[in-house]
Structure 1
Amino acid sequence: MDDTLSEEQKRTARAVLEREGRGFAEEIGLGRTNNPASLFGLLVASVVVAPRGESSGPARAAHEVTNRWHTVADLAAASEQDVAKELGAAVEGFDRDDDHDDSASGAASTLVALASALQETWGGDLRTLRDEAGRDPARERALLTELPGVDDAVADVFFREVQVLWEEVSPFADGRALRAAAALGLGDTAADLARYGSDAEKVGRLAGALARIDVEGSHDEVRRG
């Protein structure tokens, strides 16, 4: 940690990591490996959790999908009904009304469309997208958000998780992580978070933990250590 940090800031950062030291991707069993299946799993999970928060329901729903359909080709070939059934296993994460934008059916349609578009455009490999972007985060974001279901909020979650593998993205923290960081006195930028551990894995882990704290509203528990 940066020597200019106060002891209180160091203590708080340690408390954050002790409480929420695993990001949602790790918690649901997604490995962080720079291969097509792992990267796609991170993107699918980001699509599922970004609009719903990283609480147990959406995280479990993401696990159900990535655990059954491991590759882009697998999910592109899946029926929307089967995907909706898997998503519906996490009832609290999804509305059961098929006409609702946040329903399991709507999410399933989005995920199958995402897989199909990624297969068609990038051969199912997000590393190709990265190379096409010249490893420029702004261009990577622009290409990602052209895919079905991927908006800036989804790209934020994906970047937060993938920065461990794509070093050009780090340091990165999404809005949820930065809200919690500011509330806990840890700073208000991704560069501030890098002071607590300069390598991408440490920044990603801290940012992921802070995002979970923001979703859960567990700031007081962290303050109490």
Structure 2
Amino acid sequence: MDDTLTEEQKLTARAVLEREGRGFAEEIGLGRTNNPASLFGLLVAAVLVAPRGEATGPARAAHEVTNRWHTASDLAAANEKDVAKELGAAVEGFDRDDDRDDRASGDAGTLVALASSLSADWGGDLRALRDEAGRDPARERELLTALPGVDDAVADVFLREVQVLWEEVSPFADDRALRAAATLGLGETAADLARYGSDAEKTGRLAGALARIEVEGSHDEVRRTASS
């Protein structure tokens, strides 16, 4: 950690990581390794959680989908009704009963279209997209948001999580992470968060943990842990 940080900031950062250090992806069983299946799983998770506030239910649904259809080419060839059924079961208890089926059907169509486009344009491998972008984060975002179902909010979640693998993205923090950081006195920018770790992996884990804390509203619990 940066020597200019206060003791309170250091303790708070440690408390954040103790509470949520794995991030949502790892918590529900999505690995973070730089291979096609893992990267595709992260993108599927981002598509499902970004519009729903990163709740655990949709993230778990992403795990179930990519556990059955491991790669983009697998999902591109899937029957949308089968995908919708998998999604509907996984998010039960999160979406209301009267809209769950409609949401699952819409999400299934989006995911199959995303997988088809990724397979056609990049051979199902987001590393090819990264190479085409010349490892330029702005160009990576541009290519990502050209994919079906990927808007800036989805790209934010994906880039926040993938920075532990794609170091050129780091330091990166989305709005949720930065709101939590400001509330907890840890800073206001992604560069501020980079002061708490020595590499992209630590910055990514801190940003992911802060985003979860913002979603959960668990700022006071973090403060209590830091002061105990």
Shorter-chain TM-score: which interval? over 0.9
Deviations 1:154-189 (A, max 9, x none): 101100111111111011111110000000000010
Give percent identity, aligned residues only: 84
Asked if the contact 1:52–1:93 (Cα under 8 Å) also holds between the matched residues in 2, the reply is no
CA–CA separation in structure 2 for the residues paired with 1:197 and 1:33: 20
Call closer, same or farther: CA 1:94–1:109 in 2, change over 3 Å. farther
Asked if the contact 1:135–1:168 (Cα under 8 Å) also holds between the matched residues in 2, the reply is yes
Letter in 2 for 1:91: E
What TM-score, normalized to structure 2?
0.94
CA–CA separation in structure 1 for the residues paired with 2:95 and 2:29: 21
For the aligned residue pairs, the C-alpha RMSD in angstroms reads 1.3
Aligned to 1:92: 93
Q: How many residues align?
A: 223
Q: Which structure has greater helix proportion? A: 2
1:49 paired to 2:49: yes
Asked if the contact 2:28–2:56 (Cα under 8 Å) also holds between the matched residues in 1, the reply is no
Letter in 1 for 2:48: V
CA–CA separation in structure 1 for the residues paired with 2:146 and 2:137: 14
Q: CA deviation at 1:134?
A: 0.8
Q: CA deviation at 1:98?
A: 7.0
Say which SS state the counterpart of residue 171 (structure 2) adopts. Answer: coil
Q: Please, which runs of 5 or more residues in structure 2 have no aligned partner?
A: none
Q: What is the correspondence of 1:1-225 to structure 2 with a 5 Å cutoff? A: 1-89=1-89, 90-95=91-96, 96-97=98-99, 103-225=103-225
Q: Please, which runs of 5 or more residues in structure 1 have no aligned partner?
A: none
CA–CA separation in structure 2 for the residues paired with 1:93 and 1:54: 11
- Spell out structure 1 runs of 4+ moving beyond 4 A: none
What TM-score, normalized to structure 1?
0.95
Deviations 1:35-56 (A, max 9, x none): 1111111111111111112222
Asked if the contact 2:24–2:56 (Cα under 8 Å) also holds between the matched residues in 1, the reply is no
Letter in 2 for 1:92: G
CA–CA separation in structure 1 for the residues paired with 2:105 and 2:73: 20
